[in-house]
Structure 1
Amino acid sequence: MSFTPLTEQLIEALQVLPGVGSRSAERMALQLLERDRTGAESLTRALRSALDGVRQCERCRALSESELCTLCSDDDRDHSLICVVETPQDREAIELSGGFRGDYFILQGHLSPIDGIGPEELGIPQLIDRVRDGGIQEVVLATNATMEGEATAHYLIEQLGPLGTAVSRLAQGVSRGELGRVDSGTLSHALTDRKQVSFEHD
């Protein structure tokens, strides 16, 4: 099917969304242009407002509309503890478990050199600086139990070990996969029974 240049541009833009291929993007574009222009205008305004008003929390990298997100600015939390997770969904899963009342640091992914994702892209230097500045008693590594998640955790242990801050890993019981798929009870126990890891010099 032949589309106008602007329609083609919209179809191509929609394909930046995860799981949206060319056919799905075509259907979305035609729905917005032919049947729901009011919805398209609403989507445009919401997207522009979000792009202008949403940023990363300066402390944990979660999406926030202010310098610090609601969790990082909560004085009732234990700011001497940091739980490192891969995604905002992982943070939400841990919050729902009720097993952790400290701060978070969201990597927004895992190390993947083949995809060009290294420590800088994950904000790891920011995490290291935060621990080095003092006041952090423990860092809990809650990366996913996948090959990439384990490699990321190992790298973090190497970087955090020399700083003298306690580093721990979730206890056994969290199956291989994503934290968001683990039930709250199991996740809560894994946090409570977390094991401290030791740093070994070469």
Structure 2
Amino acid sequence: MYYPEPIAKLIDSFTRLPGIGSKTAARLAFHVLRMDEENVVEFAKALVSVKRNLLYCSVCCNITDTDPCRICQDKTRDPSCICVVQEPKDLIAMERMKEYNGKYHVLHGAISPMEGIGPDELRVSELLNRLTDERVQELILATNPNIEGEATAMYLSRLVKPFELRVTRIAHGLPVGGDLEYADEVTLSKALEGRREI
């Protein structure tokens, strides 16, 4: 089907987003066309702002607009415990339950040989640097309960053995194959309570 060039470019742009096929992209593009100009400009500014104004925290590797991030700057948080998550959205899911008061470390992925992702593509070296701080006593491995998350957790547990830390894994109150970002607060809370050493 023929679309005028501006609509065709917008549809093409939307199809680059995960989970957006050509029909959904066309619906979104035509929705944007119906929006008033002020809202479209605000939407465009928000997209540009995400790329220009966000960076990675130099401590925990989370996305932030300040460096270090607000969690790393928070003196009331427990520095003896670091919770390792795969993605920034997983950190947000953990924060939603409002029961964990330690620090975090974001790996930005999981080990997946099938996709060509090894430990060198993750933020593992930054994590190891943080473990030289004598205040750190426990590492909670909160990677997703799927094959990649389990492989990453096992790899990290072996890698950090020389640091003589307590290494725990969140309990499997989360469904196997699920993602932290979709879990409710009660499930996450139970998973955190039932973590175990590995």
Do Structure 1 and Structure 2 share a fold, with TM-score over 0.5? Answer: yes
- Give 1:103-142 correspondences, 5 Å limit: 103-132=103-132, 134-142=134-142
Partner of 1:58: 58
Q: Give the drift of 1:111.
A: 1.6
Please give the root-mean-square deviation of Cα atoms over the aligned residues, in Å: 2.3
8 A Cα contact 1:99 1:187, kept in partner: no
- Counting only pairs closer than 5 Å after superposition, residues 151-162 of structure 1 correspond to structure 2 as 151-162=151-162
TM-score (norm 2): 0.85
Alignment-mate amino acid for residue 194 of structure 1: R
Per-residue deviation at 1:78? Answer: 0.9
Q: Secondary structure at the match of 1:99?
A: coil
- The whole-number CA distance in structure 2 between the counterparts of 1:144 and 1:164 is 24
Aligned counterparts of 1:179 and 1:196: Cα–Cα separation in 2: 20
**Shift of residue 7 of structure 1?**
3.2
Note if contact 1:170-1:191 (Cα within 8 Å) is conserved in structure 2.
Answer: yes
Which runs of no fewer than 5 residues in structure 2 stay unpaired?
none
**Mapping for residues 1-202 of structure 1, pairs under 5 Å:** 1-33=1-33, 35-132=35-132, 134-176=134-176, 177-197=178-198
SS of the residue corresponding to residue 121 of structure 2 reads coil
TM-score (norm 1): 0.84
Q: Which has the higher mean CA deviation after the structures are superposed, 169-178 or 8-17? A: 169-178
Q: How many residues align?
A: 197
Q: Deviations over 1:66-88 (max 9, x none)?
A: 11221111000012210011233
